[in-house]
Structure 1
């Protein structure tokens, strides 16, 4: 039966996509726009089939309600027929197709007959614009006829099968768009990995009866994360009751996501339309699971005023630090953390490398908050070329506000960058995919929770550090010179007697100059205020590596000009011990100022997993050099003979 269902789904998909594109859209719209037309009509036909059995009764019922407000009619229809949406138009696709007159007006009238809670789908799809273009090209009637014949009812196509069909249609449509699809379509292999790891820690709690779970995506896109997660939960426990929630601001993505959920039996209000950073439309809710693939490097200047205002509220979602307005990824990371259920929630959030080590004040503060609250469970490095819109390195942050005992105070890094298979055909920037075996390897390493080739177990302190300014203490000798005299000549207390004092100090130990200057000045009958002493010491100072370490008249170390470094000291190490082992052997006389140290943090993922390559033996290199030299000599001989 499963094979038959798969074959039926494949056949239906082919009819939806290829027949529509080849017969009716070719030469009318650009190939990359096929999906913009095929997807809305697929949704329309599916919804029509789902409502077919009750439509006549619903129309009569709604008529009987008179001027009742629309939201009350929605409630009444739901109570009477168990429908979350409905249509009160006398039209359907077959009836419209049967009359070759005013097709565009009839079709728009039909769509306007849907209940107000899904009316925004057609607005987001820009359906009137699509209808107008097809009508102007004399293709609308044929498209309507074509879709009116597709059997997409729940008895012939189950919700899960319809989901597969819609997924395939979306994929083919996005295949034409290529890289542009990456803005709102997350590859399913990436989602499956996120879901597998997310649920791996909850296997026991997901078993049994009366299990309730909620899933949320604040950047829902086409709804793929919600649907994949929902399906995965039901595979773990067929009896689980799953409620999904989402928010999306892009019109086209919102329409696809809401439609995809609807055609698979979801709620009309599962995904709400709006900018998550400006306003959390699910502000009163927290969730068991959160998944998100926010924009990489997304500029949030538009939301800046609102976000900064929200950040002023202590304990609010953005109160832990603000990143640069050119990259809002960490705002979504904070938002996802804030949406975890107080009784225990887990999140999987995609990012590029920037949130791992961005050294700005805001990202540092956000990471420190995540460390302090022990919210980071794991971070997974994905293969490059995994996403449609970018080929750069990407990571999945696994957050958990109720870790199992053995994972508390620990952070697991998982390097899955080498676990991939080449795609038969690339799509946009996506050239690689993670097979089921690749994903199982990651989940297995996550569950074992021990160091291995692809796993490292660390503590938050391992990622914290102090940047300590390090200076080298000067070694100075005292030398008399005309330049030294000239440097002091502009002083009001300069005199020829002072010059005689200076001559007498030539070759003296620089550290003893304060006492020697006083003694020399007294012998010459002149005064030696501290200002003059400091000026003489500076004027006569000459670097001398054989001299003792220099100290000023107060005994403070004198720092060498032009020599300063910043030493990064792990927070887990004693400062003096670190300097003794890592700095002083290479810079004798170096000193540091702990009071000027700056605390920071980073997650140097690549460095942690770096394995140095063994250099080639010198004998092998010499042999290659000799071979190449011999070949060159032979070539030169042949040229000279030639």
Structure 2
């Protein structure tokens, strides 16, 4: 109860912190820019509160009398040993932001000395001496803008009134998560930039907790897109609340400001390493493996900017490459590569990772590799309206390299789309939360790994399918193809034509060596502007295309879908085929003049097609299933081409529930009621 009360007390500062934005609004600063002004000052407030508390704790540990007599160098050695940074101005002058803001005449000088009193790393993270390229929180740039608007002291004073010193690290982290959530809500440029809600963090932590146990072994937790650290540290805190195991967190992000916030937070945790950079091209933990991986990578974000680096990657992380427009499955493969031999993870994605890409595509091949490796234990569909800046469905992929024997080669789908409690007040696009009872149902269902009304367990091959390519031979109404008229070994018949007509235009010479059309400057010009466009526009099925030779006339009968050959008025059906007319411009050579050649061939009408057929893990049985499908559904002659095995996980297909139709009598009764109400309204108007 005391812990909950303290938590509520610190959340009272949420509105006070957010009120600092009123000054920004009054200064004409756009709402989308507020986070960039608030982040460095919030970080400043957090750092100061923790350093002052650390300083006070040292006084207690050493004793007031001993502390008063301690050598300054020894004191700073003790402070540096804490690994939380330091500030000479605070420690030597015993002054904080509150004290600095009391004197408006010396404020700017004192504030500058205060900022430069921090240790080197803190100054770098805050951006105290930021130059182009390395800004992080860029407090220097923010101060310059606030000065130009003549509100620097007023803005700093508002932040100095946020007193976080009475609260511990965990409580400050709770407040930080609430503030960062609001920033994410207003500053995310795309729906792909996601801040993970607290209820989803709780669900991820509870899933992980269900699969680990008490141990004296260190639990290493990793987030490759950690942002400001809310998911990474939120999971760690919940694990620590349930287990006595030692934990160590690792995170990386390439957003300057969010990395800086996470890095600052990490220094006040027992064992945490946060690095800056693009995980996909510069993995800062390349030689590390982890017990637990978690991530909420960006959705639908292109990786074109570093395409060459990905394609030339030598780490063997990326088995296949997804569409360049969406890098989610690159992060997925990276996360899997970071798991130790018994590791597990939970990764948040949108629906595209389940079904985007056809069989043989990078996305499908990645899914197949994951299922072939038997690393996917479950996929959980979350409710819509769960995240702060998008209303789409999101999914938790549960990865596990240490499946229980009965879970081997199986995947569970959990449809938790209805497992939520509506929020009393929406937070951006977030209108729902996966409440405590719903989280328990989801975790229990995953643990029991049995079918329920909202979950199903499948053999992993259930999600595989054959995409069988075939070459169909089209036939006419009598079931005949022109293929049967060809001599053995021939694939077509060339016609030595003398005339070509499509009902509107006629070409009587099929080798043209001269022309007499005034608007063309040359035979080549005549070919490019007249003959070539005309030939390419011919359609033997849609036009009355007739090819005449010295011996016969040929055309295609669209009604009977057959080629017709006419000799001296007698017509013969040749079977289904096609007429191919081509034109070529030829330069003059030693033996022939410059010319235009037109060729005509009749050939069988082949058509490549694909059939989607259920997959079976046994190769012989799989071939039998394909053959049975063809015998049942394909009536034309065909030849087998390549077979590609694809993988997709389709929640809609599996959990689709048709809307129950209302009874006719109920509908008629409702119509009758409405008609009566309308009649009464009309009578009232007449009166």
TM-score by length of 1: 0.74
CA pair 537-186 structure 1, distance change in 2 beyond 3 A: farther
Return the alpha-carbon distance in structure 1 between the equivalents of residues 655 and 105 of structure 2. Answer: 68
CA contact (8 A) 2:40 2:126 kept: no
User: Aligned pair 1:385/2:385, yes or no?
Assistant: yes
Report what 2:541 is aligned to: none
Whether the 8 Å contact between 2:303 and 2:325 is mirrored in structure 1 is yes
Return the alpha-carbon distance in structure 2 between the equivalents of residues 538 and 175 of structure 1.
Answer: 73
Please state how far the C-alpha of 1:368 moved relative to its aligned partner: 1.7
Q: Within 5 A, what are the aligned runs for 1:19-168?
A: 20-21=20-21, 25=24, 27-28=26-27, 30=29, 32=31, 33=34, 35-36=38-39, 38-53=41-56, 81-89=81-89, 90=92, 92-93=95-96, 94-123=98-127, 124-148=136-160, 150-153=162-165, 156-168=166-178
Question: Which residue is equivalent to 1:325?
Answer: 324
Task: Select which of 241, 254, 259 maps to 1:235.
Answer: 241
Tell me which of 303, 308, 312 is aligned to 2:306: 303
Question: How many residue pairs were aligned?
Answer: 556
How far the C-alpha of 1:359 sits from its partner, in A, is: 2.1
Change (3 A) 1:60 1:142: farther
Counterparts of 1:555-574 in structure 2, within 5 Å, are: 565-572=609-616, 574=621
Q: 1:257 aligns with which of 224, 245, 262?
A: 262
Q: Which residue of 1 aligns with 2:401?
A: 401
Q: Which secondary structure state, in structure 1, belongs to the residue aligned with residue 340 of structure 2?
A: coil
Contact persistence 2:194–2:389 (CA under 8 A): no
- Mark the CA change 1:50 to 1:120 in structure 2 (over 3 Å): closer, same or farther: farther
CA drift at 1:537: 13
Contact 1:288–1:340, Cα closer than 8 Å, also in 2: yes
User: What is the RMSD computed on CA atoms of the aligned residues?
Assistant: 4.5
Distance 2:427 2:297 in 1: 20
Work out whether residues 347 and 399 of structure 1, in 8 Å CA contact, stay in contact via their aligned partners in 2: yes
Aligned to 1:188: 198
What is the aligned counterpart of 1:353 among 335, 351, 354? 351
Q: Secondary structure at the match of 2:444?
A: helix
Contact 1:108 1:128 in 2 (8 A): no
User: C-alpha offsets along residues 60-97 of structure 1, whole Å, 9 cap, x if unaligned?
Assistant: 978689xxxxxxx9xx657x743342223456424423
Tell me by how many angstroms 1:14 deviates: 4.5
Provide closer, same or farther for how the CA distance between residues 141 and 46 of structure 1 changes in structure 2, counting only shifts above 3 A: same
Deviation at 1:332, TM superposition (A): 0.2
Shift of 1:216: 0.8
Match for residue 502 of structure 1?
none
Query: Do the aligned partners of 1:287 and 1:341 also contact (CA within 8 Å) in 2?
Result: yes
The aligned residue for residue 340 of structure 2 is 341
Mapped partners of 2:420, 2:140: distance in 1 = 43
Give 1:371 deviation, angstroms.
Answer: 1.4
- Tell me the secondary structure at the aligned position of residue 598 of structure 1: strand
Is 1:200 the counterpart of 2:200 in the alignment?
Answer: no
- Partner SS, residue 279 of structure 1: coil
Displacement of 1:338: 0.6
How far did residue 115 of structure 1 move? 2.2
Look up the match of 1:555. none
**Equivalent residue of 1:327, what SS?**
coil
Would you say the 8 A contact 1:180–1:388 is kept in 2? no
Q: Which runs of 5+ in 2 are unaligned?
A: 60-65, 128-135, 486-492, 499-548, 553-561, 563-569, 578-602
Deviation of 1:337 (Å): 0.4
1:612 aligned to 2:613? no
TM-score by length of 2: 0.70
- Secondary structure at 1:385 match in 2: coil
Kindly indicate whether the alpha-carbon contact (under 8 Å) linking 1:103 and 1:140 is maintained by their aligned counterparts in 2.
no
Find the aligned partners of 1:622 and 1:150 in 2 and give their Cα distance: 60
User: After superposition, what is the alpha-carbon deviation per residue over 1:254-311, rounded to whole angstroms, capped at 9, x for unaligned?
Assistant: 1222233445x355x621111111100111111111111111011111111111111x
How many Å separate the matches in 1 of 2:571 and 2:87? 94
The question of 1:282 aligning with 2:316 is answered no
Task: State the shift of 1:146 in Å.
Answer: 4.8
Contact persistence 1:58–1:77 (CA under 8 A):
no
Cα deviation, 1:154-210, whole Å, max 9, x if unaligned, reads: xx31222222232333345556658879735211112222222222222xxx225x2
Match of 1:246 among 235, 239, 251: 251
Contact 1:178/1:428, CA 8 A, preserved across alignment: no
Does the 8 Å contact 1:222/1:254 carry over to 2? yes
Map Cα deviations across residues 351-370 of structure 1 (whole Å, 9 max, x no partner): 11111112252112211211
**SS at 2:221 equivalent:** strand
Give the Å deviation of 1:242. 1.0
| 1:478/1:540 contact within 8 Å kept | no
Cα distance between partner residues in 1 of 2:71 and 2:10: 35
* Structure holding more strand per residue: 2
> Which residue number corresponds to residue 602 of structure 1?
648
2:3 is matched with 2
Instruction: Give SS of 2:612's match.
Output: strand
Asked if structure 2 preserves the Cα contact closer than 8 Å seen for 1:184 and 1:253, the reply is no
Report the alpha carbon displacement of residue 491 of structure 1 after superposing the two structures with TM. 8.4
Change beyond 3 A, Cα 1:308–1:439: same
Cα distance, 1:376 vs. partner?
0.7
Secondary structure of the residue aligned to 2:613 is strand
Q: CA offsets, 1:368-390, max 9 Å, x none?
A: 21111111111111111211232
1:47 and 1:274 map into 2 onto residues whose CA distance is: 27
| Cα distance between partner residues in 1 of 2:119 and 2:182 | 30
SS of 2:457 mapped into structure 1: strand
Q: Structure 1 114/589 Cα, relative in aligned 2: closer, same or farther at 3 Å?
A: same
Partner of 2:179: 169
- 1:482-518 Cα shifts (integer Å, max 9, x gaps): xx9xx998589xxx9x99xxxxxxxxxx9xxxxxxxx
- Structure 2: how far apart are the matches of 1:57 and 1:136? 43
Query: Counterpart of 1:452?
Result: 452
- 1:219 deviates by 0.5
CA distance in 1, matches of 2:68, 2:463: 62
Distance 1:560 1:395, change over 3 A: farther
* 1:407-461 deviation line (CA, Å, top 9, x unaligned): 1111111111122222222233222221111211211211111112211111221
CA 1:148/1:401 → structure 2, altered by over 3 Å: closer, same or farther?
same
